[in-house]
Structure 1
Amino acid sequence: MTSIANTIEFIAARRAGLSDCELAEAIYGKRKQQLVNGECRYLERASGLERRPRADGIIGNYLLSYN
């Protein structure tokens, strides 16, 4: 797993439902949505993250719990 993926998981565990754009701003301080989007899709395929629409219609990222 890449370090950006680790950072996304760390943030998603504490602030569930952030969009790719919001995650990019939290990580880089500016919009680098494409970089974050690719990592979020990687995490989704690896079953570590769920991507689903929030109440406002924007796709949010939610860390899956490992029970």
Structure 2
Amino acid sequence: MVPKAAIIVQGQLSGIYTVNAENTALLRWLRLGKTYGENIEVLSGLSAGEKYVVKAEGKLFNGSKVTLK
């Protein structure tokens, strides 16, 4: 489950920005399931415990350096 606010929608595709070991943002496409309130079920494309961006100050793109809070 991830917050709906973290989901990026481009056309018919849905994804989320993940954060790798070098604190770089990478857009990852997801297969989504049912919505439960403000959260949405992730069926594939994201592993348990993986870091992802919920909210960003400014524009995010692949390769952006991120600071975790």
Q: What TM-score, normalized by structure 2, do the two folds share?
A: 0.27
Which structure's residues are more often helix, by fraction?
1
Q: What TM-score, normalized by structure 1, do the two folds share?
A: 0.28
Which structure has the larger Rg? 2
